[in-house]
Amino acid sequence: MKKSFFNLLLLMITSVPASSQEDLIVNIDGRETISLNGTWNYIIDPYETGFYNYRYKERDENDPEAYWNRPVVKKKTDRVEHGYQAPYTLQVPGDWNSQRDVFKYYEGSVWYQREFDTQDLAENERAYLYFGAVNYEAHVYLNGKKLGSHKGGFTPFNFHIPKKILKSENNFLVVKVDNKRHAQEIPTLNTDWWNFGGITRDVKLVVVPETFISQYELHLSQDQNIQQAKEKESFELEGRIQLNRAAKQSEVRVEIPELKLTKSFPITGDELSFNFEVKNLDLWSPDNPKLYDIVFSLNGNQINDKIGFRKIETSGKDILLNGENIFLRGISIHEEIAQDKRRAYSREDAEQLFGYVQDLNANMVRLAHYPHNENMTKVADSLGILVWSEIPVYWTIDFESEKVLDKAKQQLKEMVIRDRNKVSVIIWSVGNETPVSPTRNQFMKSLIDQAKVLDDTRLVSAALEVGYNEEGINHIDDPLGEYTDIVSVNEYLGWYGGLPDAAQSAQWEVAYNKPLFFSETGAGAKAGYHAEKENRWSEEYQEWFYKEQIAMMKRMPENYSGMSPWILTDFRSPRRNHPVYQEGWNRKGLIGNEGNKKKAFYILQNYYNELENQ
Ligand code: GCU
């Protein structure tokens, strides 16, 4: 407990200028909400006419031509030049690119609008608008008033709705969404994934008591020796409760009905840390994805959640789960349903993707390169699939800029706060393939430090690049490896370097006495194209690649602790433009864009079956 209080102090010192995350509300599904998903109207606005006047000055709040204001035609002479009605509609949640051809390549501003009714708030109630994610920049208005804005396309945010703004009927909700890419943002201009725009995840109206539990965490305390705890069948849990504001003399309660356990704690301020002992706790693991129903309450106002308990740590070259050595049989995934060329967002989408993961007999997923929707980590919790979750500090962002660092830190915080109680998440990744330089090293180190301050119960890593050299010795010596808990590298020996049999002579030297994880390796193939194995893009080439890779992995130094090949399914990428084999698809999927498993899928599946039966 002392450690986390110190962490908290450090957090206050190091925390980024807050936009909204202090009162980011966790476990929205465990609260009283009204869904605002469904059909929304839209205005596509590449010239930002709804925001700026013809002098390109931001419009005043009451400007009738501002697109956040309800267009009103009082008399036939009135000139009104914007409006929200069918057929200009989009589904929320969902990206706009896959919904209408006009949006396929669109990057710019789109105004979303809908109306909603709600019951009047009681005296001791307050309301929030919650967004699971909006890519990229969102400005939110209700009844002509601005509630707030948020940047970052893959993390949640919420805004308090002042009582004087909220009406019981015909609330006029407008969200300006802009997914234009900029050098100073996270991600930056260049990514190997489609820049799907829109309100891509759930929108909810949340009604809570004036004083409520905004965030909480409950996990095995880090200080205990898990082997001893298992022998004694007595475990220490520790947790923290964050309120939206200081409470008068109140009581917080934590209940685990299945264990007939109820703990009550008095609270006066807005934050409480606690710990207590539990007997006969069933630990969570891939073989036993045990989740407990947990009830958190403040003065009787309850929040229900499902939480599992496990300890993840490293010991020298090994990754230990609940004190046992574990090998990560992983696969990388983009948050996409290839068959529909769209962003994934629903529970069904998550179950589809994890269905493929289980077919592969994988026990781990790398959710690349940004935090995926919460359905993904919830399904992983329930299926016992370990998760690597990452912020899109991808390739060459502007490492020189303090502002860019703040944006990265904000996304990191929002990612950790949302999934802090997801037992399946074992690794926070602070980035991918960022080029080595002193400025970059410093930038990435401060993200690693931030992650450890936010959460000392998980491993922290980043996908590093390998220094290939002619003599065939691959050096894993990126200076960032000094600060990460596991050393993770992406390698494409046989695709971006040489042919697959180049792996036969490859040697690997790891500069760190830490677990080694291959966060990417893979080769492209167009599903259904069969030819000699030397033919690029044939399934036989990809199959050959995986055979050679797996043979090489079996010769790896002893700290080799897992891999998450690139990638589960083909995915959309504007950087892949071969007119026959790619057509806007990155073809490194083990499953084609129509859902057909390629030959290499079975090569990896066999390897994972072998590993599991070892
Ligand atoms: C990179 C990168 C991925 C990319 C992949 C590829 O390593 O991390 O985002 O899609 O390689 O080239 O296919």
pLDDT at 3 over 90: no
Provide the pLDDT for residue 7: 47
Residues 6 or more apart from 402 whose CB is under 8 A from it? none
What are the tens digits of pLDDT across the range 16-40? 444 445 589 999 999 999 999 999 9
pLDDT at 470 over 90: no
- Asked if residues 566 and 520 have their Cβ atoms less than 8 Å apart, the reply is yes
pLDDT at 12 over 50: no
Provide the pLDDT for residue 261: 97
Residues 304-316: what's their mean pLDDT? Answer: 98
- Which runs of E-coded beta strand occur in 513-611? 516-520, 560-563, 571-572, 585-586
CA of 114 to the centre of ligand 1 (A): 38
Residues 542-547: what's their mean pLDDT? Answer: 98
Provide the pLDDT for residue 23: 83
pLDDT at 94 over 60: yes
**Over pLDDT 70: what percentage of the chain?**
96
Quick one: pLDDT band at residue 300, thresholds 50, 70, 90? confident
Read off the tokens for 159.
């805004």
Residue corresponding to tokens 């015909």: 170
Residues 283-311: what's their mean pLDDT? Answer: 97
Residues 569-581: what's their mean pLDDT? Answer: 98
Instruction: Tell me the C-alpha distance between 515 and 315, whole Å.
Output: 8
**Over pLDDT 90: what percentage of the chain?**
92
Provide the pLDDT for residue 237: 98
pLDDT at 190 over 60: yes
Q: How many helices (H) and strands (E) does the chain have?
A: 8, 34
pLDDT at 219 over 80: yes
Query: With a 6 A CB cut-off, is 490 part of the ligand 1 pocket?
Result: yes
pLDDT at 519 over 80: yes
Indicate which atom in ligand 1 lies nearest the CA of residue 586. 13
Residues 68-85: what's their mean pLDDT? Answer: 96
For the stretch 474-477, contacts whose Cβ atoms lie closer than 8 Å and that sit 24 or more positions apart, written own/partner, are: 474/506, 474/507, 474/508, 474/509, 475/509, 475/511, 476/508, 476/509, 476/510, 476/511, 476/512, 476/516, 477/509, 477/510, 477/511
Residues 485-490: what's their mean pLDDT? Answer: 98
Residue corresponding to tokens 């403040």: 298
Quick one: pLDDT band at residue 338, thresholds 50, 70, 90? very high
- Which runs of E-coded beta strand occur in 453-595? 459-465, 473-476, 487-490, 507-510, 516-520, 560-563, 571-572, 585-586
pLDDT at 568 over 60: yes
Read off the tokens for 429.
């990744």
What are the tens digits of pLDDT across the range 393-437? 999 999 999 999 999 999 999 999 999 999 999 999 999 999 999
Query: With a 6 A CB cut-off, is 491 part of the ligand 1 pocket?
Result: no
Residues 92-115: what's their mean pLDDT? Answer: 98
Query: With a 6 A CB cut-off, is 433 part of the ligand 1 pocket?
Result: yes
Provide the pLDDT for residue 6: 46
What are the tens digits of pLDDT across the range 202-215? 999 999 999 999 99
Query: With a 6 A CB cut-off, is 566 part of the ligand 1 pocket?
Result: yes
Query: With a 6 A CB cut-off, is 518 part of the ligand 1 pocket?
Result: no
Give Cα 562 to chain centroid, integer Å.
Answer: 21
Provide the pLDDT for residue 9: 45
CA of 600 to the centre of ligand 1 (A): 18
Read off the tokens for 539.
């399934």
pLDDT at 360 over 70: yes
Provide the pLDDT for residue 22: 58
Q: Lowest mean pLDDT: which of 181-185, 297-301, 348-352, 444-448?
A: 297-301
Provide the pLDDT for residue 18: 44
Indicate which atom in ligand 1 lies nearest the CA of residue 490. 7
Average pLDDT, the chain: 95
Name which residue sits closest to atom 4 of ligand 1, judged by CA.
192
- Asked if residues 73 and 80 have their Cβ atoms less than 8 Å apart, the reply is yes
Read off the tokens for 352.
């589809």
Provide the pLDDT for residue 515: 98
Ligand 1 pocket, mutate which of 191, 493, 520 (most atoms under 8 A from CB): 520
Residues 286-312: what's their mean pLDDT? Answer: 97
